[in-house]
A and B are shown apart, each in its own frame.
Chain A
Amino acid sequence: MSSVPTNHALILAAALFVLGALGVMTRRNLVFVLMSVEIMLNAAAVAFVAAAAKWRQPDGQVIVIFILVVAAAEVAVGLSLLLRIYHNWKSVDVDEVSLMRG
């Protein structure tokens, strides 16, 4: 069907992953941090699909389905924690929530 080189798909995955990591490192708003984590998960999914296409095995796509499951659970727990933090501190700044001296 397509003849995209594996390199290019992996470079796309790397670019998205680095972008997400940059967001996690620099943003202080917890909503943006969670969104950047989503970008990183999607970058991993792109790499897995590229590997599945290269070796013509379905295993990579199965792992992407598991990534979807992990993302759903992570978002549910992360967003409820976010609501809890906002309820307690009236802020979504990750630097303000430093009770554990992190």
Chain B
Amino acid sequence: MNALFYVSGGIGIIAGVMVVTGKNVMHALINLVVLLLAIASVFFCLGAPFVAVLQIVIYAGAIMVLFVFVVMMLNLGREAEEQERNWLSSVFWRVPAVLAAVLLAQFVVTLAGREAAPMAGVIGPKAVGRSLYTDYLIGVELASLLLLAGLVAAFRLGFLPGRLERDDE
């Protein structure tokens, strides 16, 4: 079980590097799906099977399909890939990389110094559901409001004027 955590964590980090440094949008999306699935198995190793399943169904299933559809609608071709290559090889990359490396080093130094207390035990869907619908009931209501707001905003913004005229041509 421990080995599964380290292997899937490593796969997640490698996939994340390939997303951040990717040139082709579609390949980066597939790498992002790999990252999400790796994180789902990390959740499973940390004793959270319910969240792992939700991660696969909602993130890797629904949200990524949304991404794939939008990228297909954008229809970015080979010249976009060339443009990405030009942008990535520029000097913009250096200073943020150094800053991010310093931040990561700080995290690792701080966290590695503590005693490594092992965790054990699975928190099943029953406990999560009970907590969700008793202690966090107001949060569920707010989440539904947020989703409604997102739906309305996406509907309003997604309505492109001029789309109909272009279809007539």
Our verdict on whether A and B bind, yes or no, reads: yes
A interface with B by C-beta (< 8 Å):
1-12, 14-16, 18-23, 25-29, 31-32, 34-36, 38-39, 42, 45-46, 49-50, 52-54, 56-59, 61-62, 64-66, 68-77, 79-84, 86-87, 92
Can you name 22 A-B pairs with beta carbons within 8 Å? A1-B120, A1-B121, A3-B118, A3-B119, A4-B118, A7-B112, A11-B107, A18-B107, A19-B17, A25-B99, A25-B100, A26-B96, A28-B92, A45-B51, A58-B123, A64-B51, A66-B139, A68-B58, A71-B63, A76-B66, A80-B153, A83-B157
Tell me the complex Cα distance, A20–B66, Å: 20
Q: Mark B86-112, 1 if CB is under 8 A from A, else 0.
A: 011000110011011101100110011
Does any Cβ of A come within 8 Å of B73's Cβ? yes
Within the complex, what minimum Cβ distance (angstroms) separates B71 from chain A?
6
Q: Which single residue of chain A is at the shortest CB-CB distance from B62?
A: A72
B interface with A by C-beta (< 8 Å):
1-2, 5-6, 9, 12-13, 16-17, 19-20, 22, 25, 28-29, 32, 35-36, 39, 42-43, 45-48, 50-51, 54-55, 58-59, 62-63, 66-67, 70-71, 73-74, 76, 80, 84, 87-88, 92-93, 96-97, 99-101, 103-104, 107-108, 111-112, 114, 116-123, 127-128, 130-132, 135-136, 139, 143, 146-147, 149-151, 153-154, 157-158, 160, 162
Within the complex, what minimum Cβ distance (angstroms) separates A96 from chain B?
12
Tell me the complex Cα distance, A34–B131, Å: 31
B interface, by DSSP: helix, strand, loop or mixed? helix
Question: What 18 new A-B contacts, CB under 8 Å, besides A1-B47, A54-B119?
Answer: A4-B5, A7-B112, A12-B12, A26-B88, A28-B92, A29-B25, A31-B67, A32-B22, A35-B19, A45-B55, A49-B48, A49-B51, A52-B46, A58-B132, A69-B143, A72-B63, A76-B153, A82-B74
A-B contact count (CB 8 A): 251
User: Which residues from A are CB-within-8-Å of B135?
Assistant: 59, 62
Tell me the complex Cα distance, A45–B35, Å: 13
Q: Lowest 10 CB-CB distances: which A-B pairs, in order?
A: A73-B150, A5-B116, A14-B107, A3-B118, A25-B96, A23-B20, A80-B157, A2-B1, A76-B154, A22-B100
User: Which residues from A are CB-within-8-Å of B103?
Assistant: 18, 21
**Do B58 and A76 touch across chains, with their CB atoms under 8 A apart?**
no
User: Which residues from A are CB-within-8-Å of B19?
Assistant: 23, 32, 35-36, 39
